[in-house]
Amino acid sequence: MNGYPVLVIGGYGFFGRRLVQRLAHQPDLHVQVAGRSAAEAGRLVEWLRPRARARLSSLALDTASATWPQDLCQLAPRVVVHTAGPFQGQDYRVAQACIAAGAHYIDLADARAFVQGIGSLDTLAAAAGVAVTSGASSVPALSGAVVDHLARGLDPVNFIDIGISPGNRTERGLSTIQAIVGYCGQPLPECEHPAQTDTGRSPSFGWLGSYRHAYPAPVGSRLLSPCDVPDLTLLPARHAGTPRVRFGAGLELAFLHRGMNAMAWMTRLGLVRDWSAHAGWLKRAADWFKTWGTEAGAMHVCVAGRTSAGTQATRTWHLVATQGDGPYVPTLAAVALVRKFAAGELPFVGARPCLGLLTLEDFEREAHGLNIRMAEEPP
């Protein structure tokens, strides 16, 4: 049996190789690991093949090539997973080529404008009979599934609070650094109304100001600062009451986090226009301290609203990842979607952000075997 063909673009990259590792557990798949380097793709396949249940192969593929659409048609995958970020500033040429080739498309984007704009391809995707979804990542796919779970029985939903703080020893990729620092000092959507921070002001710019959240052991209290994600504009329209949404990102080491706050101020003062251009040396500087802290990271989602009995309720969910398994979290949505596609479960036809396509139970299933635990806090 050849297996259901899945093409992973950027398959040996930071998130791509973790995605391929998880897909390799699904026996009915043929996972094609693609990237600009055939050698890198081949090394990953050879490393995984002895314990893989899926069929694995590798190839060189460049989505920037003029022949990319024709190359994709020749490969004839059933689904393409795009992991080659950062997605800030990317166009939809990969998704458009997938539509033309009759392949379903999934990406791991968390860039608000990119995820939000995927709906512009809805008519084309629907006409081709394929599913195109953007944001199959920690946000908005996982965060949105958790909010859906916590918001059951609440009408209206008044406030949604989401935060992510990785462990300092956890491996980080350059594209991730580019995305994170690119938000420094940049305006956030007007729909976001954060709570007071320790500066006494409600910031409206990325990484400007900070507050704390207490995570379960072994993570503990972490600093968080506002950051731009798709949830800020997608979630208010999804839930009754048009809730306020806050999203915070954090670094485990307080002095590195405060450094991000300072970088945001430098952008607001006009000293640095775009920190993503400096991501290379910023990553090298952060790596000087990569043996500090822990490998424990966490995520939280809190939802506040009114129950059918008329009482106010706040519900909180936490995810804690240890032993460096945090970077697998952004891959779980794509793994779950591929499983559904391969089983013939097509959740929709058209193009849309990755909201409402997966349940919290889907994520719990795909996290099995990883050092990741998820739980709703008792009321």
- What pLDDT shows up at residue 88? 85
- Dump strand ranges (E) for the chain: 4-9, 29-35, 55-60, 79-82, 104-107, 131-134, 157-165, 211-214, 221-226, 244-249, 297-306, 312-321, 350-353, 372-376
Bridge partners of 163, per DSSP, are 248, 300
Tokens of 169: 């020893």
CA 76 to chain centroid, in Å, comes to 26
- What pLDDT shows up at residue 190? 64
Each residue's pLDDT tens digit, 305-337: 999 899 999 999 999 999 999 999 999 999 999
Residue 69 has pLDDT above 90, yes or no: yes
One-character DSSP codes across 153-167? T-SSEEEEEEEEE--
What letter would DSSP give residue 56? E
- What pLDDT shows up at residue 181? 86
CA 281 to chain centroid, in Å, comes to 24
Predicted TM-score (pTM) of the model is: 0.93
**Token pair 């458009």: residue:** 96
Residue 45 has pLDDT above 50, yes or no: yes
Query: Which amino acid makes up residue 2?
Result: N
- How far is residue 247's CA from residue 228's CA, in Å, rounded to a whole number? 7
- What are the chain's domains? 4-137+329-358 (3.40.50.720), 139-321 (3.30.360.10)
Residue 111 has pLDDT above 80, yes or no: yes
Q: What is the mean pLDDT of the chain?
A: 93
- What pLDDT shows up at residue 1? 54
Asked whether the beta carbons of 312 and 305 are under 8 A apart, the reply is yes
- Give the residue-averaged pLDDT of 338-364: 96
Asked whether the beta carbons of 134 and 104 are under 8 A apart, the reply is no
Other CB atoms within a 10 A radius of the CB of residue 377 amount to 12
Which backbone phi and psi does 31 adopt, to 5 degrees?
Answer: -95, 120
Dihedral sign for Cα atoms in the order 76, 89, 349, 128: negative
Residue 196 has pLDDT above 60, yes or no: no
How confident is residue 231, by pLDDT bands cut at 50, 70 and 90?
very high
Tokens of 378: 């008792």
Residue 177 has pLDDT above 90, yes or no: no
How confident is residue 89, by pLDDT bands cut at 50, 70 and 90?
confident
Percent of the chain with pLDDT strictly greater than 90: 83
- Give the residue-averaged pLDDT of 1-9: 91
How confident is residue 81, by pLDDT bands cut at 50, 70 and 90?
very high
Residue 194 has pLDDT above 90, yes or no: no
